[in-house]
Amino acid sequence: LAYGQTSALSFHGGSGSGAVGFSVTAGPGNCSIQNTTLTATGVGPCTVTATQAGNPQVASVNLTITQATQAPLTAFATPNELLVGGSSTLSAQGGSGTGAVWFQIDSGFESCTVQGNELVAVAPGTCTVRAYKAADANYYVISSPTVAVTVNAAPEVFGDGFETP
């Protein structure tokens, strides 16, 4: 079971007609029970025990709660068309958990560089950037689809004082 998921609890067998109750007998920080629904509330081991009223026999199941996949992550570059020497602000939206976000050039290394959450245009061409959100205790790392940034040549102004206006 992955963090945040739920599972319906049920039982089969036993003798007598007493009601069956479920309880978390190990790993209480990793799972919880509400009626007959088990919810993964942390990452690690969890043991659920079924007990039938009036019957000294119990049955247990051991589970491992794993990290979950994060919600989709989207990267943005504003603006996404630059002149050489210009810069774009990088941002990301989505993901889950508390992991840090960072940005990385995916292609077009000759056209752009990333410095924190800023993309700097260094040569004409196209570069693509991807956002990443780090894993935390409950979620795996995630990356966004790429966002493309077009870098155009800056208009050159030459002047040595001898040109005709």
3-state secondary structure the chain: CECCCEEECCCCCCCCCCCEEEEEEECCCCEEEECCEEEECCCEEEEEEEEECCCCCEEEEEEEEECECCCCEEEEEECCEEECCCEEEEEEEECCCCCCEEEEEEECCCCEEEECCEEEECCCEEEEEEEEECCCCCECCEECCCEEEEEECCCCCCCCCCCCC
Asked whether the predicted pLDDT for residue 157 surpasses 80, the reply is: no
Q: State which amino acid sits at residue 89.
A: T
Asked whether the predicted pLDDT for residue 159 surpasses 50, the reply is: no
pLDDT score, position 14: 66
Rounded to two decimals, the pTM is 0.79
pLDDT score, position 160: 53
Higher pLDDT, 157 or 15: 15
Summarize pLDDT for 90-131 with one digit per residue, the tens: 999 999 999 999 999 999 999 999 999 999 999 999 999 999
pLDDT score, position 93: 97
Asked whether the predicted pLDDT for residue 82 surpasses 60, the reply is: yes
pLDDT score, position 154: 78
Asked whether the predicted pLDDT for residue 156 surpasses 80, the reply is: no
Summarize pLDDT for 15-58 with one digit per residue, the tens: 667 788 899 999 889 999 999 999 999 999 999 999 888 877 78
**Local confidence band at 11 (pLDDT 50, 70, 90 cut-offs):** confident
pLDDT score, position 30: 95
Mean pLDDT of 142-155: 94
Region of residue 160 (left: phi > 0; alpha: psi -120 to 50; beta: else)? alpha
**Local confidence band at 12 (pLDDT 50, 70, 90 cut-offs):** confident
